[in-house]
Chains A and B, each alone.
Chain A
Amino acid sequence: MKVAVCVKEVPDPSAPKRIDPQTFRLDRSVAGALNDFDTHALEEGLRVKEETGAGEVVAVLMGPERAGDSVRKALAIGADRAVHLADEALAGSDLVATSKALAKALEREGADLVLFGQQAADSDGAVLWAAVADRLQLPVVSQAASLEIADGKARVKRQTEYGYDVIEASLPCVVAVSDAINEPRYPSLKGIMGAKKKPQETVSVADLGLAADDVGEAGSRTEVYALGEPESRGDRIKIEDEGGNAAEKIVEYLAGKKLI
């Protein structure tokens, strides 16, 4: 089984996030981190490879050069190889443009199974897989709470608004996994040391057979006009559990509001 796993670098969740008021793009000058949701996809890819006994797991990441740290992290966790789509021309890509570039990269891989995470923590789109699958002309199943590979098929339990469906898709196919599908492993020291030696390919837009204006802002079909403040929920109170008195403070607060 050859498994390709799409992973993204997002701003470090512990750093405050902001949108640049000039460019309307997310300020990516803060430290980056491998999208947590995608470590579940990676884990699932590794599990499938281990269970089927042979094959490889390829991490595919589109993002600026500095996202190389996240590429290395994916390798340290266990991916056998990585493809990094890095090109100035990709900056500002929306769904249409991103799916175009990723689909081209995935086409070159010809994996039996293409995995996605549940969502990118910075865009919360939770949609990219369906666009990529359409371009690859492959079946797609999303929101997978469990995944089994058998008899040339992927069997997925997915949650919708009505409970759980069971869907089967013939391989090759695209599956987007939920963040409860597994407990991702952490990179081991050996993994971290070994990551540097694993094959890593940096791919440009031209390498993918695309023109610069197929992707990035030029290839995008959406735009941003302005930023505003949302309505606030009113006064918020924040307390820390210092000296273990948080429970008392909560009771006081609830009593003050006549909620107990």
Chain B
Amino acid sequence: MPSLVYVEHHEGEPVKGSLGVLAKAAQLDGDVAAVLLGSGVEGLAERVGRHGAARVFVADDPALEAPLPQPRVDVLAKLVESEGFDTVLFGASVLAADVAAGLAARLDAGLNWDLVDLELVDGKLVGKRPALGDSVIVDVGWKGEPRLALVRSGTFEPVESGGGAEVSKVPVEIQDWSQQAVMVEQAHEESEGPSIEDADVIVAGGRGLGQAENFSLVEELAKALGGAVAATRAVVDAGWYPYATQVGQTGKTVAPKLYIACGISGAIQHKVGMQGSGTIVAINKDPNAPIFEYSDLAVVGDVHQIVPKLTELVREKRGA
């Protein structure tokens, strides 16, 4: 199973998720190659080699500088065809998802996403995919090759196995239409805003709060509990709360002792950022909200009624 792992990088570092997938691929079968696409990324090849890749392909070109998917699809499609890879694995990210799906269409290849494990069963690759709000696990596979897979973020840990890799350069040829999306302003790590990763208690607010001003309810409760405030992407995108407080796939990963979710539906992309929390309490007015599937205490009710009262009771209890 000659397989290829797409290794994403950010500000000169290979991302952890990609190295984790690389470790898993190496464990399934030693014959694993990695590919780095970008501008000025050749220097990362050695690092990648130490994390399980026997071969590292490097596509280094200014056209690959911006983290945009389509130029990457062009290069990968040629590489997969010329080297005959039968499997291409990606650690999920906004960029990787768009690259993987574009590649699937280009190569008419099967893509399974959101995998939380990969196994070889009698030589056949099988992926584990949670579905329906993680209430079932589906064993998925591929008809024909190449087989493409996106692994849920945070699934596999990188392993530094040492060793060197054979490094080869990949020719870069970009299609016209792939250059018509242009990066105007690229995000940089936000340093502003409170740090929530070390908090023991997190009170998180979602769109169920109704409006930005109502975040004060969550802030008051967090203050009473001596905790930090977090938010969902929906409210961050809407400008209600700063990005630095976002929990989830494209935000922070947190694992406090107590996580109280207020007016949050509990999408998978939110869950991956907080499922490691010790105790999860969710307040939501919809009894079928997905978040209740993974809450220790599910409270069906209105945040506007419950949260202020809860704050008051906590204050009394803690004598503050």
Residues in A lying within 8 Å of B, measured CB to CB: 13-14, 16-19, 24, 26, 94-96, 99-100, 103, 122, 124-135, 137-143, 145, 155, 158-170, 173, 178-181, 220-230, 233-241, 244, 246-251, 253-255, 257, 259-260
Q: Is the CB of B295 within 8 A of A127?
A: no
Interface residues of B in 277-319 (CB under 8 A from A): 279-281, 283, 286-288, 292, 294-302, 305-306, 309-310, 312-314, 317-318
A246: chain B residues at CB < 8 Å are: 283, 299, 301, 305-306, 309-310
Q: Which residues of B contact A167 (CB under 8 A)?
A: 68, 181-184
Whether A163 pairs with B188 at a CB distance below 8 angstroms is yes
User: Which B residues lie within 8 Å of A248 (CB)?
Assistant: 313
A178's closest neighbor in chain B, by CB? Answer: B237
Q: Binding site of B, secondary structure by majority: helix, strand, loop or mixed?
A: mixed
A residues in contact with B103, CB < 8 Å:
134
Q: Is the CB of A173 within 8 A of B110?
A: no
For A14, the chain B residues whose CB sits under 8 A away are: 286, 288
**Cα-based distance from A108 to B116 in the complex (angstroms):** 38
Report B's interface with A, CB cutoff 8 A. Answer: 10, 15, 67-70, 73, 93-95, 97-106, 108-114, 126, 130-132, 134-144, 150, 175, 177-178, 180-190, 201, 207, 225, 233-238, 243, 249-250, 257-258, 267-268, 279-281, 283, 286-288, 292, 294-302, 305-306, 309-310, 312-314, 317-318
User: Known contacts A139-B70, A225-B126, A244-B305: does B237 contact A168 (CB below 8 Å)?
Assistant: no
- With A131-B102, A238-B300, A259-B279 given, is the CB distance from A162 to B180 under 8 Å? no
Please classify the interface of chain A as helix (H, G, I), strand (E, B), loop, or mixed, using the class held by over half of its residues: mixed
User: Of B69, B137, B201, which is within 8 A of A140 by CB?
Assistant: B69
CA of A150 to CA of B185, assembled, Å: 17
Kindly identify which residue among A95, A137, A145, A241 contacts B175, using a CB–CB cutoff of 8 Å.
A137
Asked if A222 meets B188 with Cβ closer than 8 Å, knowing A13-B288, A241-B306, the reply is no
Q: Is the CB of B318 within 8 A of A260?
A: yes
Are B300 and A96 in touch, CB under 8 angstroms?
Answer: no
Question: When the two chains form the complex, which single residue of A135, A239, A241 contacts B105, counting CB atoms closer than 8 Å?
Answer: A135
Q: Which residues of B contact A128 (CB under 8 A)?
A: 101
Q: List 27 A-B contacts (CB under 8 A).
A: A16-B288, A19-B138, A95-B101, A95-B105, A127-B97, A132-B105, A139-B180, A158-B94, A159-B237, A167-B181, A167-B183, A169-B180, A169-B181, A180-B207, A180-B237, A225-B139, A226-B139, A228-B138, A236-B295, A238-B300, A240-B301, A241-B299, A241-B302, A247-B312, A251-B313, A257-B279, A260-B317
